[in-house]
Amino acid sequence: MANLSATCPICQADNPLDTNQSDGEEIYCCYCQSPVIARKVDRYTWVLVDIDEDRKTHIRKAAKKAEAKSEEEGMSKAFQEFEFDDSGGHGGGKKGGGH
Ligand SMILES: [Zn+2]
């Protein structure tokens, strides 16, 4: 059995990990009790990611995906999505940014 461990992004302590957690699972640092995301690099290598950082990465990825998609499908789709998002109650008010 391999002994897995990963460094906490908050307190830099070495956390022992189980092999049965799944990629992207939220766990708690044994030392500072911060919620962190366990990310699998490969079978024997895991990293712990700050939840905020993990979320940011996901949002960035999603935004990139949406961007690529809108280029494929044309601006009308992107505009629809923008309108939908705007009516979702974010109250942005910053409409008509020059594009
Ligand atoms: Zn910690």
- Cα 57 to its chain centre, rounded Å, is 4
Whole-model pTM: value is 0.59
> What average pLDDT does this structure show over 68-92?
64
Domains and CATH numbers, the chain: 4-51 (2.20.28), 54-86 (no CATH)
Q: Are 52 and 36 in contact (CB under 8 A)?
A: no
Say how many Å lie between the CA of residue 57 and the centre of ligand 1: 20
How far, in Å, from the CA of 32 to the mean position of ligand 1? 4
- Ligand 1 center to 14 CA (angstroms): 8
Give mean pLDDT, residues 73-91: 60
Q: How much is the average pLDDT of 2-25?
A: 88
What's the rounded mean pLDDT across residues 34-40? 94
41-59 pLDDT, tens digit per residue, is: 988 889 999 998 888 888 8
User: Rounded CA gap, 66 and 70, in Å?
Assistant: 6
